Structures are given as C-alpha cells and as structure tokens.
Chains A and B, each alone.
Chain A
Amino acid sequence: MNDILQKLVPIFKKVFGEHTVITYTTRQEEIPEWDSINHLYMVLELEDAFQLGLLPEEIETLKSVEDVVNAIRKRKN
C-alpha cells in the first residue's frame, strides 16, 4: 500500500499542481483542481505509471486517494 501511495505523490502533483499534498485519506473535494478533466488526466497518468487499464465503472468510483490505491491494488493482485 505504501509503495503505491509513494508512487501516487508525483502523479498527483503533476496532474493537480505542484502544491498538491496527499495522504491516504485525502478526498476529491479537498483538491480544488480535481475536476472532471483532471480526473481524466489522472486516470491516464495512473494507467501509464502502473501499466493497467481501468474500466469505466472503476474510473467513476475513484473519489479519494484510498479509492485510487485500492483500485490499483486490486488490479495488481
């Protein structure tokens, strides 16, 4: 889990701006830049970094860092 989170930090900074700070409990509404276009941007960067393809229903349920970590972990298993 921690290694996934570590890998997420630079991705979140790239997508939502350098000032973005995330923890495991950070939620979408706490990051003002997390709108639908940046959501798409984030998914693209995640898929690229972790070499996975998410399904529409998975993409739509990503509302927090925890959701992202879980989705990646589920894919990696």
Chain B
Amino acid sequence: MATFSVVSDVTFDLVLKKIEGNSIPLKHYLFGNVVSDLIAKRELLKESESVIVHIDNFFFRYEPQQTEDIMNALIGFSKHYLGNLLISNSIIGPEIRSLGQSLGEFNDGLLNHNATTDQLLNAKNVYFYDFRKILFRHGMKNAYNFELGHLYQMPYTVSVIDELALLLIQQMLFLAAPEKKVIVVDCDDTLWNGIVGEDGVDKIYCDRNSRGIVHLHFQQFLKKKKDEGFLLCICSKNNEQDVEEAFRKKKMPLSSEDFILKKVNWKSKPDNIRELASELSLGLDSFIMIDDSQFEVDYIKEVIPEITVLRFSKRYIDFLNLIDDFAFRRKRYTTEDINKTEQYIIEQKRQEAIRTITSFEDYILQLQLKMDISLNNIGEIERYAQMTEKTNQFNFNKEIFTIKQLEDFIVAGGLLYGMKLTDKFGDYGTVGMMLIETGNDLAIVRNYLMSCRALGRGVEEKFFDRVLGELDHKGLKLGGIKFQVTPKNKPAQEFYHKRFKKDE
C-alpha cells in the first residue's frame, strides 16, 4: 500500500486515525506552518508517495498575502515532487468574496483564478479533493465547531471528520489502483427504464420525463466518459435484435456504435465479462461493470473480485453518488509523464532564482518576526499552565503544571521565561515558555515549550539563545536539561539532538 504524509494547519489527528485504520501508512505529519514545512521539509516529504496538504481558509481567515504565500509554496513543492500532491479545493475560488470587508479585516481566504493559481491547477501531479462540497453539504453551521477550533486548532464536527477521512481514503486508494479503462453496462432498467424484450420498444423510457430522466442523464454521462477515453461495452441478458431495435428506434444520447463490444446473450455475466477482457486484451482490474440487479452485482463481485461493480438505481440521489465514484476519474499523472517532469524540474530550478521566496531564510526574513520576552510574568500564568497541558509536539518532557504549581515554582526562585510573538500578519500571543531552576550558579532547564502555532519559523532557536544569553548575564551556567522522549514530541527531540548532539 502506498504511503502518505500530511501537512496541515488544523489538528489532523482524528482524520489520520481513521485513515490509518484503513491500513494506509502515514509517514510524516507536519502540523503548524504549512509554508515553512513545504519549503524546509521538502526532502522528508519526498519519502512518501502522496502528500496531503490540508489548508482551512474558512477557519483561519488568512490574509490574501498569506494565501498567496501558501500558493507559491505549493507550486514550488509540486515542481520538486514526483508523487501525488492532494490539496483541498477550498483555496481557490471563483472570486474573493468578502465576509468581512464590512468588518474591514477578513476575507474568506479564497484565491481568484490567475496565472499563479493556473500553474497549480495545471500541474500534472496535483489533485484536488472536494472539501468545499463537504462544507456545502453540511452547511457551515454543521461543519464547524469554532469553540473546539479555537481551543485545539481542530474546528470540525464529527460528521465532517468522518467524511473528510473517507474522501481522502477513497482518493488515496484511487491513486494507488490501476486506472479504469472500460465501462460495461447492462441495458434494461439501466440504459433505459423498462424491459425491452417484454415491454417492447414503445414502453421503454430514456427522456426528459420523470420515468426516463435518470436514464437520459446516465447515457449523457456515459457519452462524456467515452469522450474522455473510456471504452463502452454492453453486457445484457437479452435478445440481440431487441437491443438493436431499441437503439435504432429510440432517440437516445448513445447509439449502438458508441459501444466497442456487446455481449447480448443468455450466458452468465462473469463469463461475458471475461470474454470482453480477453477480446480487448485488458486486465479485469481496468473494468467497471454497472448493473441494476443486486443479484448480478453480488454475483459478479464474488466471481471476479478484481473488477469494480457498481449498482444502478433509479433514485436520483443514488445516481448522483454513482457518477461521483472515484472509478470514473482519470489520473492526471502517468508513468510516461515522469521523464517529461524531470526535464521540467531542471528548467524550473533555473527559473527559481527569480522567484520571490527562494529559501526558508528569505521566507523567515520577510515574515518580520518579533519576539517579546518576559520573566515571571504573573499576568500570563494561566496561559503558561495551559501550555504545559496542551502542548505536545515541542515539549521537552510533558511535565504538567497547574497555576498554583507555577506560582510555587517562581516563589521558590525558579525563572519562568515567556515569549510572545508577532509577525507582519498579526499577533500570535504567548507561544513559548521556558522554566529554569537555579542554584549554585547553575541553571537547569526544567522544561521548554513552544506552541505548534509558532514552530517552523526558527523561533525555537532564537528564543532558546536569548534565554541562554539572559542566564549568562545573571552569571548562571547551563547545568542540565530535563528532556524526556514522549510519543508526540518529535519536533522537540529533533531540536534537542541538533543542539546537544546526544542520544537519550
């Protein structure tokens, strides 16, 4: 099974739980700053076959400039990556509508189509998953849970999480599976309403009236699929002349000639399908079979497990779900494209010198980050206590402090350094804290924490250095660091090993 990685600005854990439950292995999960992760962690992400980038413009209300930065990072990434890049379609919209122009500060973060977005839309290895449809179907009111979102950066309701996970599972299975090439359809009660052999040609329907409309739309859909390159075949238990008469006498979107092969007889459907496969010299796994009979659907599935069998139903909502099936999608990226892509990458590397954001350092520089460091700031103590509980990724040992314990820590002579962060887009609030125990001219780092909101900007290095500088100023020497590996503190482990180059 193909592996995947996720880059996300919302807490994706609950979605990942469900995806991994379907035995699709996750390689890396980067949560926080999408832009810097796409630039700085590029090599890491290349290890997996698909990368999902989930950006929530509705929840985070990005400034247009931020959305453009994300767009540029995505384009840059897609050009260096040969796997499948899966992006939510909630980033590009037909227009930038203003939810808040009247409020004067926010828009909904969608980008207009322009030359930049077109680059992404046309990239061969970029796939969009339809997150907007999920939002649309649930309605904003039932999709978002802003209370939880503001607490955990995870703003979705259970049903949205479930549907998003399902959608991503389907998309990844689709990308891992061979592409479908042949659509085989039944005739009676599928291509038309009625049984031609019994009811006669005059009593079958495929038109705009209520009895025929779902069949009319189905035929139109099949015609479109034929134009996209699918081969159409018929497999029907019928008399051949009845079916031919239906095509001859009825005005329908599809004609007899639209079908490359027909198996109209009384043999079993699996036998007919196997014959089709051998006559077309195509594998059965590239076949889709559509039939209205639940018996036939189950039977074909049982006898030929590798074929995709879909059931046709006259209920219109079922029809809409049927044509939405991933089996009918065309992959954008084929093996022949890979060589071309490699040449493309070389050309891109040349051009990259003139791009606005050329490196991680440039990106950091243009963010205009500003740290505000305070010592034993009682006014923020509630936030500090909350951080010890909620921060997982960049947390040196996951020791939890209550407000009272933090107050006692300070009274006992401990130093609590806090850090607030701002950049050109706004205020992050208190995002960093370091607890220092002192004694005998020595300073022990009891814990060091950084909110994931602030990670990936080099801030964790700078704050650490500034505090070390302060300690030095007070005549204290670094005497030790309390570090403990936890299942979730990989970013902290990386930092710790990089700085102190020792193993646990």
Contacts and interface: CB of A to CB of B under 8 A. Distances in A.
A55 B389 contact: no
Interface in B1-52: 11, 13-14, 17
B434 interface: no
Interface stretch (B152-160, B228-236, B355-363): B152-160
Contacts of B313: none
Given A48-B157, A48-B158, A37 B148 contact: no
Contacts of A40: 11, 13-14, 148, 151-152, 154
A53 B147 CA distance: 8
Contacts of A37: 11, 13-14, 392
A60 B158 contact: no
A58 B13 CA distance: 22
B274 interface: no
A48 B14 CA distance: 15
Contacts, number: 46
A73 B157 CA distance: 21
Nearest to B389: A36
A15 B30 CA distance: 23
B145 interface: yes
B482 interface: no
Interface residues of B, number: 20
A21 interface: no
B392 A36 contact: yes
B145 A47 contact: yes
Contacts of B161: 44
A60 B158 CA distance: 19
A21 B17 CA distance: 22
A43 B158 CA distance: 10
B404 interface: no
B148 A44 contact: yes
24 contacts: A36-B152, A36-B389, A37-B13, A37-B392, A40-B13, A40-B148, A40-B151, A40-B152, A41-B17, A43-B148, A44-B14, A44-B158, A45-B158, A47-B145, A47-B158, A48-B159, A53-B145, A53-B147, A55-B147, A56-B147, A56-B148, A59-B147, A59-B151, A60-B151
In order of increasing CB-CB distance, the 6 nearest A-B pairs are: A48-B158, A37-B13, A56-B151, A40-B152, A44-B158, A56-B147
Interface of A: 35-37, 40-41, 43-45, 47-48, 53-56, 59-60
Given A40-B11, A44-B145, A56-B147, 20 more contacts: A36-B152, A36-B392, A37-B11, A37-B13, A40-B14, A40-B151, A40-B154, A41-B14, A41-B17, A44-B14, A47-B157, A48-B157, A48-B158, A53-B145, A53-B147, A56-B148, A56-B151, A59-B147, A60-B151, A60-B386
